A and B are shown apart, each in its own frame.
Chain A
Amino acid sequence: MKRLVMILPLLVFLMVAVVLYRGLFLDPTELPSAMIGKPFPAFSLPDVQGERTLTQADLEGRPALVNVWGTWCVSCRVEHPVLNKLAEQGVLIYGVNYKDDNAAALKWLAEFHNPYTLDVRDEQGTLGLDLGVYGAPETFFIDAKGVIRHKYVGVIDETVWREQLAPIYQGLVDEARP
């Protein structure tokens, strides 16, 4: 009994040390999304090209990535070539042009190629707010029914795609197959 009491401070110290050590490797800027498992929020907004009005129903039917981007976002520029490559490989990508100047967005797409099958023009940031976007780039993974299944915050590079995101996307595709 006495021995246990003597060893107790050491045990408490070790427990605290383990918790704090783990804390060193957590990223505090990464928020768990509150949107996982919820349907994509309803919206009715024009597309970037100004040709038609898009709603959440337009995003349903096939699993897809919904990429929130803006020309003001420096890291989006880093991400853009990767999205182009993914689109070329047949990954379905929708865009949400978040709080952006429309002319600048059109120029960007003309210059850097357009990976987005549909591109929502969210100038006021209302859709972004409903999605719980707090920066860009952010990428949502939606299934064929339009339910948000995963969210990735930050630049998707090839390593991130290969190691983390491709399996998730593949899972959604497999799930949608009859």
Chain B
Amino acid sequence: MELDSLYQEVILDHYKHPQHKGLNPIFTVQVSHVNTSCGDEITLNLNVENNIITSITWDGQGCSISQASVSMLSDLVTDKTLEEADAIVKSFSELMASKGTSAGDPEILEDAVVFAGVSKFPGRVKCALLGWMAFKDAAIQSQGESK
């Protein structure tokens, strides 16, 4: 069933057991993003020390794809430098724009390659990107903060 390429076990697992959910009161930058087409919302707290992402926490409501996606993102970028995180976000964005033609780079994206199936469902790409775009925004703002 094609639906199974969208709803991979690991995605539903992250949805059921979201990682880094619950906002850490210590943060460098806080951002809130909304998916205007469905009303999904996310608030994301990012803490950066010496260019290293020491904490990323979030809260919000949304579908399994958006919730699992931000959960996996949080796992992926914690303890990375801002430059490393930026490369991960770029790779993920490319995967989402691939319309099902890319399997994703497991070296960079690790478990997040399971979202490759999402790129075949144009209506869901925005769901998968909600948390990532919030993080990208926060990362850019954090660079402004440290200057």
Are both chains from one complex?
no
Q: Which residues of A contact B (CB under 8 A)?
A: none
Interface residues of B (CB under 8 A from A): none
